[in-house]
Structure 1
């Protein structure tokens, strides 16, 4: 499989994952939701797992494209998105529900738009 095809396929998986997070979080209107019930904690944990998958996928694409793809789309903080994976994986007990909520509500929608654009342009 060609590098562009592999990148496009991974972007497709990331797109689906972002859509899943956004759908699962549509009714959440505060980071407090995550902290007030066992169901909220489960949602936080599942969201973090999916954010880790997104970060890992982005790292793979960055390596596959020799760091040349994401620089064409500077409207997204790709380094921050990849770093989120590391924070969740290595500093899980320091994780801040407010940060996760902020990422989901304020950063993922724009990333979804950009990833769709990237897929069309590949």
Structure 2
């Protein structure tokens, strides 16, 4: 089994990435806020890098826990998180600002709460 300490470290790093996204996107009120200025585009790029990190961390957790650990938290679409990582990393020119906006405003708070629960379950 993957070391408990490593799982805790990955969960903490995911939480840090979520916090960073939330802090740096609080001024974003619509997807267009990303697109209408160079600051918005820069914010979008930074958010995408953190989403890549989150997706990669989820992949590591899943693989190293023999695809069993994440099943304990079925409220999160883990495959979608890993898939978003792949889309951002490999098809960057096809990123949809509206989808990223929905992820950070709707999906990320739910993931954040689940990560906190996962950490407390240890």
Q: TM-score, normalised by structure 2?
A: 0.96
Q: Supply the distance in 2 between the matched residues of 1:40 and 1:27 (Cα, whole angstroms).
A: 10
Partner SS state of residue 68, structure 2: coil
State the Cα deviation string for residues 40-76 of structure 1 (Å, max 9, x = none). Answer: 0000000001100100011011111111111110111
Q: Supply the distance in 1 between the matched residues of 2:115 and 2:67 (Cα, whole angstroms).
A: 16
State the Cα distance separating 1:20 from its structure 2 match: 0.8
Q: TM-score, normalised by structure 1?
A: 0.96
Partner residue, 1:97? 97
**1:24-39 alignment to 2 at 5 Å?**
24-39=24-39
State the Cα distance separating 1:27 from its structure 2 match: 1.5
**1:82-93 alignment to 2 at 5 Å?**
82-93=82-93
Partner residue, 2:65? 65
Q: Supply the distance in 2 between the matched residues of 1:44 and 1:24 (Cα, whole angstroms).
A: 10
State the Cα deviation string for residues 85-119 of structure 1 (Å, max 9, x = none). Answer: 00001111111000000000000001000001001
Q: Which runs of 5+ in 2 are unaligned?
A: none
Partner residue, 1:49? 49
Q: CA RMSD in A?
A: 0.9
Partner residue, 1:11? 11
Segments of 4+ in structure 1 off by > 2 A?
none
Asked if structure 2 preserves the Cα contact closer than 8 Å seen for 1:34 and 1:40, the reply is yes
Q: Which runs of 5+ in 1 are unaligned?
A: none
Partner SS state of residue 30, structure 1: coil
Partner SS state of residue 42, structure 1: helix
